[in-house]
Amino acid sequence: MYSSFDTIKYLEENNIDFRDQGKNVTQGWINIACPFCLDSSYHCGISPTKLFSCWICGKKGNIKKLIKEIENCSWYQAEIIINKFISEDSIQEKKERKNTNKFIWPDGISKEPMNIHKKYLKERRFIPLELTDWYQIRYGMNWGTYRYTVIAPILLNGHTVSFYGRDITGKRGKHWKAPVEKSIVSPNALVYNSDHIIKDKIIIVEGVFDVWRIGNNCCATMTDAYSIEQINFIRKLGINKNLKKVFIMFDSEVQAQKRAINLCNQLSVFIDIEILKLDSGDPADLSKKEVKLLRKDVKI
Ligand SMILES: [Zn+2]
């Protein structure tokens, strides 16, 4: 009866904070802080069929009961409020809203490299033009927040949703991820290069440069501390891309190997997984010949 109630529109117009992904949130559900108890962390879930339930106090029911509690109003008033947010084309509207949700590049980022960028990439055996064609990379110019960085857009289904930048001066922090609030999807909830999976096996590495070295069917966590969201993302990739096997190839140093084992343990519940060990360095150090052999070995 209330299934076309536009939950998000209602919450947005009433400035009620909500989550549609992350901790405590089932896919397709929208979570808010429960109005029935002293919940401060989005434990009250609203289902796609507009039923709600709270993980803490156990209150459940239909959307009308929830609205009545939020608004502190009568059943009759709750009904009127609900009707205001029922729209037959609410699904269509949501789709359109998503499409207009375009990623906006911050100032100071260009498609054209400066000589310093070219030199940096060439020293690492990368060819700027190839990277532009394949990964649509960009460059932080000599000013602004992202000055002197090489920038990899993070693509999801063909659209830029965020980016990862790498300092080329060695003077600042190495990693310059897009802030979550400027991203369409948080870079902490994704892996890099998932758009370039065309086989049923992938290698997961840590760095964007490792991906650039290895190529298709190779994804990067982009971090020293991957998140639960990333584990979930990889799990879903496994389903959506029909992955038969996942290889993990992190840097050879001790801490990275510990992270590899940890990631392996968490993913092994969902998918066939194996750790590949390097004798030294990181995957980006591999030669062309070594990459060729590796790809042949793991059949990617
Ligand atoms: Zn509650």
Q: Distance from the CA of 27 to the center of ligand 1, in angstroms?
A: 20
CATH class of 7-100: alpha beta
Say if CB 148 and CB 108 are below 8 A apart.
Answer: no
**Given a cut of 90, is residue 1 above it in pLDDT?**
no
Asked whether residue 123 carries a pLDDT value surpassing 90, the answer given is yes
Could you tell me the distance, in angstroms and rounded to a whole number, from the CA of residue 184 to the centre of ligand 1?
30
| Alpha carbon of 44 to ligand 1 centroid (Å) | 6
- Of the options 3.40.1360.10, 1.10.3720.10, 3.60.110.10, 3.40.50.720, the CATH number for the domain spanning 191-300: 3.40.1360.10
Domain boundaries, the chain: 7-100, 103-188, 191-300
Distance of CA 158 to the CA centre of its chain: 14
Q: What is the CA(236)–ligand 1 centre distance, in A?
A: 29
pLDDT of residue 252: 94
Mean pLDDT within 121-131: 93
Q: Looking at 37-104, which runs of residues are DSSP E strands?
A: 44-46, 51-54, 60-62
With a cut of 50, say whether residue 96 has pLDDT above it. Answer: no
pLDDT digits (tens, 9 = 90+) for 49-94: 899 999 999 999 999 999 999 999 999 899 889 988 886 554 454 5
pLDDT 10s digits, 213-245:
999 999 999 988 888 899 999 999 999 899 999
Length of the chain: 300
pLDDT of residue 118: 96
pLDDT of residue 89: 53
**Separation of alpha carbons 289 and 295, rounded Å:** 10
DSSP 19: B
**Residue 218 Cα, ligand 1 centroid: separation in angstroms?**
43
What mean pLDDT comes out for the span 129-157? 92
**Ligand 1 geometric centre to CA of 204 (Å):** 39
Higher pLDDT, 157 or 31: 31
Q: Which residues lie below 8 Å from residue 133, measured CB to CB, with a gap of 6+?
A: none
Q: How confident is the model at residue 256 (pLDDT cuts 50, 70, 90)?
A: very high
- pTM for the model: 0.67
CA distance 241 to 151: 26
Share above pLDDT 90 across residues of the chain, in percent, rounded to a whole number: 68
CATH topology of domain 103-188: DNA primase DNAg catalytic core, N-terminal domain (3.90.980)
